[in-house]
Amino acid sequence: MGKDTLTVTDNRTGKTYELPIADNTIRAVDLRKIKTSEEDFGLMSYDPAYMNTAECKSTITFIDGDKGILEYRGYPIEQLAEKSTYLETAYLLIYGDLPTKERLDWWANRISRHTFIHNNQVELIQAFRHDAHPMGILISALSAMSTLFPEAKEVENAEVREKQIWRILGQIPTLAAFAYRHRIGRPFNYPDNSLSYTANLLYMMDYMNQRDYAVNPVLAKALDVLFILHADHEQNCSTATMRGVGSSRVDPYSALSAAVAALYGPLHGGANEAVIYMLQHIGNVKNVPSFIERVKKGEGRLMGFGHRVYKNYDPRAKIIRKVAYEVFEATEANPLLEIAVELERIALQDDYFISRKLYPNVDFYSGLIYQALGFPIEYFSFLFAIPRAAGWLTQWVEMLNDDEQKIMRPRQIYLGHTKRDYMPIDDR
Ligand code: CMC
């Protein structure tokens, strides 16, 4: 085994440099030693969209995109989906280890004690138009929380941070349910803290004073599994946003609302919504081949397919596909499922998708389940954001505790005009 260094020769000057390698990485700032003259700024690396740049060191989530592996704190996602609950998984992410029975009870109690939202939030939700997109409501409601809990600004105080985490995980489902009830013009149901995390959400959304009302445990369990699968996914667009905005030391509510905004986009968490519109647009299994041909010609994307990191079947999609069939046994089958299965079958045999390593991702089947559970399409991204809050907050705390992190501030390559003098408007 040779040395853990990289030797580079700058052919502009003929000088050779030895750069240390640690964790299979060179430090971008080490490139700055490579200069053509003393005045030269030094070499930078150019990496649009962070295709090959590690922005942090992390101990939270491990992904091997080539092998299709996803682990939270070392635990395989398949085992967590089968054996854990969302609240236990959120604890695992935030505190680093699985809880004992006592700690889990304590944790569930901490969260359920923070499920009631401030009346200001109720009024805020009511101020939106009846057809306001729920993600717009969530972004606003989260940022409004920073005005209700101004002590959250003390981001260096671990105790203060922990309290905001309980509040956020407790209140997000209530915000989701209230936003939904506002949309359908029904009175709000306040949280029932005797129910599980997902059962409480379903209760707050659905309950209409029926005497014999009970949350369907199969559906609550299916939603809980989906929440586990969505809880974290290392440095994706919204998590990088959480870390980036949080690096300014703003309060967690403001950073979280920025992360939710990033998630809202159709290339990220908004894809589950886009998949349903795509399936509705295809309309019938017989239209699948012509749709695939259009995608191959570049006339649109196969939504729910492809991933920056996974170049193999997304392990979450495999679990979701199974959950979908379980849910459809308890509800009515979703007619769009047939189209989705056919799309997947054809795409996985087609050279366009094979050569680009495009496989179904987490969003391909999740929307079908949400639809079967009775959620309106616009709520799908909200259902991604609720569980991801645990991941965003864990990553935020890790960033704040990391001595190497500072305010995020990328460099640029300036290619604009060189200096020119201002010309009065009449002379232009
Ligand atoms: N349908 C058709 N072609 C695709 C797709 C797709 N869904 N995804 C990528 N490609 C093609 C792309 O056109 C390009 O082809 P070429 O090399 O000929 O130009 C090649 O595959 C590489 O694509 P890319 O855009 O460079 O890949 P990326 O890593 O920048 O994009 C992605 C990743 C997820 C944004 C992209 O695959 C995509 O747009 N997928 C559809 C949207 C989607 O499902 N998003 C959810 C992501 S998973 C949930 C989450 O964490 O957000």
Residue nearest to atom 15 of ligand 1 (CA): 356
Ligand 1 centroid to 44 CA: how many Å? 27
Query: What is the band of 150 on the pLDDT scale with cuts at 50, 70, 90?
Result: very high
256 pLDDT more than 90:
yes
Query: Which residues, other chains included, contact 405 with Cβ-Cβ below 8 Å and sequence gap of 6+?
Result: 56, 243, 247, 399
**Placement of tokens 């939202």 in the chain:** 117
Question: Of 389, 178, 222, which is closest to residue 322 (Cα–Cα)?
Answer: 222
More confident residue, 270 or 120: 120
Whether this model's pTM surpasses 0.85: yes
Averaged pLDDT of the chain: 95
Query: Which value, in Å, is the radius of gyration of the alpha carbons in the chain?
Result: 24
- Pocket-testing residue among 52, 293, 307, ligand 1, by greatest number of atoms within 8 A of Cβ: 307
- Pocket-testing residue among 52, 267, 292, 312, ligand 1, by greatest number of atoms within 8 A of Cβ: 267
**Placement of tokens 């580079």 in the chain:** 8
Q: What is the pLDDT of residue 325?
A: 82
Query: What is the band of 279 on the pLDDT scale with cuts at 50, 70, 90?
Result: very high
Residues 7, 17 contacting (CB under 8 angstroms):
yes
Query: In order of start, what are the domains of the chain with their CATH numbers?
Result: 75-266 (1.10.580.10), 271-372 (1.10.230.10)
The ligand 1 atom nearest the CA atom of 304: 44
Span 61-78, pLDDT tens digits? 999 999 999 999 999 999
* Cα 313 to Cα 398: distance, rounded to the nearest angstrom: 29
Instruction: Tell me the mean pLDDT in the region 258-267.
Output: 94
Q: 309-332 burial, b if ≥16 CB within 10 A, otherwise e?
A: bbbeebbbbbbbbebbeebeeebe
Q: What is the pLDDT of residue 322?
A: 87
Ligand 1 centroid to 237 CA: how many Å? 14
Q: What is the pLDDT of residue 394?
A: 98
159 pLDDT more than 90:
yes
The finding on whether 273 has its CB within 6 A of some atom of ligand 1 is no
Query: What is the band of 230 on the pLDDT scale with cuts at 50, 70, 90?
Result: very high
Query: What is the band of 326 on the pLDDT scale with cuts at 50, 70, 90?
Result: confident
Ligand 1 centroid to 409 CA: how many Å? 27
Instruction: Tell me the mean pLDDT in the region 407-424.
Output: 97
Pairing of strands 69-72, 75-76: antiparallel
The finding on whether 236 has its CB within 6 A of some atom of ligand 1 is yes
Q: How far is CA 34 from CA 22, 24, 43, 383, in A?
A: 19, 20, 6, 48
327 pLDDT more than 90:
no
Q: What is the pLDDT of residue 373?
A: 86
